[in-house]
Structure 1
Amino acid sequence: MAAANQRVNTMKLHADKPTHLNVFTGYDRDFVSVNQQRHSGSLLVLPTSVEPWRPANFADLQEADFEALLAFQPEVVLLGTGSRLQFPHPRLSRSLAQAQIGVDAMDISALCRTFNILVAEDRRVLAAVLFD
């Protein structure tokens, strides 16, 4: 839970939210909210599902973590790297590049905004969320 003096970031990007699809509705350093439900720990967010993800943090990422994302057949993967932007070594996401699936690394704030926009555009987006 956020400390009493911290402000929790809430989001509203669209007047009409697709009620059957996932959107990020808030975030902070140690959690995200998807459709008003709070999640902490590494997770995968797709337009229609939310699942846990193996790596505990950015330093824990392995090639197999990215290879596992192929099963979801995303058009693009948004990699949320916590409160600051970090870029994974290209060898880690090689399997996605070979499948012509884009991978964009960004901080949690940018990930939430970008995911919501892409979901509203009916794109096959997958958000891979890591925390500090």
Structure 2
Amino acid sequence: MKLHLQRPGDQNQITSYAPGELRINDNVYQRSLIVAPRWMQADWAPQTFEELQSDSFAEIIQHRPEIVLLGTGRRLRFPAPAVLGQLRATGSGIEVMDTTSACRTYNILMGEDRDIVAALLMIELA
């Protein structure tokens, strides 16, 4: 489990992550989610990598962030180009990484006041 110093304010910060669990501020989540500094979508529809579809990113597309992090679970896996097609068309930068790396990167970029969104598949239980 990773712990991060919590910043004051009303931003959504990932304070810990472990297989089967993400903690954002004081709330624990056990399902995939989308998080941005000032909004989030709990219980994001794809719960596994195999369930990712192009329409999985509709909420993110509406916000048109500068950077989108896709956390693919326990290990790094790249979705088919068609899955990310609509998201790429918005001009957002897209980084695909395992969920642990995506959580760390999200907190760093959020601390730099970047326009960031992280779409995080849950880290699978071993």
- The TM-score with structure 1 as length reference comes to 0.84
Shift of 1:93: 0.8
- Quick one: distance in 2 between partners of 1:91 and 1:18? 39
Q: Quote how far apart the aligned CAs of 1:11 are.
A: 2.0
Shift, 1:51, TM fit: 1.2
Q: Deviations over 1:58-87 (max 9, x none)?
A: 100111112442112211111111111111
* Corresponding residue of 1:72: 63
Q: TM-score normalised to the size of structure 2?
A: 0.88
Partners in 2 of 1:77 and 1:121 — Cα distance?
A: 15
Larger Rg: 1
For the aligned residue pairs, the C-alpha RMSD in angstroms reads 1.5
Measured after TM superposition, the shift of residue 96 of structure 1 is: 1.8
Segments of 5+ residues of structure 2 without an aligned counterpart are: none
- Identical amino acids, percent of aligned pairs: 36
- Choose which of 2, 27, 34 in structure 2 pairs with 1:10: 2
* Structure 2 equivalent of residue 97 of structure 1: 88
1:110 to partner: Cα distance? 0.7
The structure carrying a bigger helix percent of its residues is 2
Partner amino acid for 1:63? Answer: S
Instruction: Flag structure 1 segments of 5+ consecutive residues without an equivalent.
Output: 1-8
1:45 matched to 2:48? The reply is no
Letter in 1 for 2:14: F
On the 8 A contact 1:26/1:36 being kept in 2, the answer is no
Query: Match for 1:22 among 12, 33, 44?
Result: 12
> Structure 2: which amino acid aligns with 1:129?
L
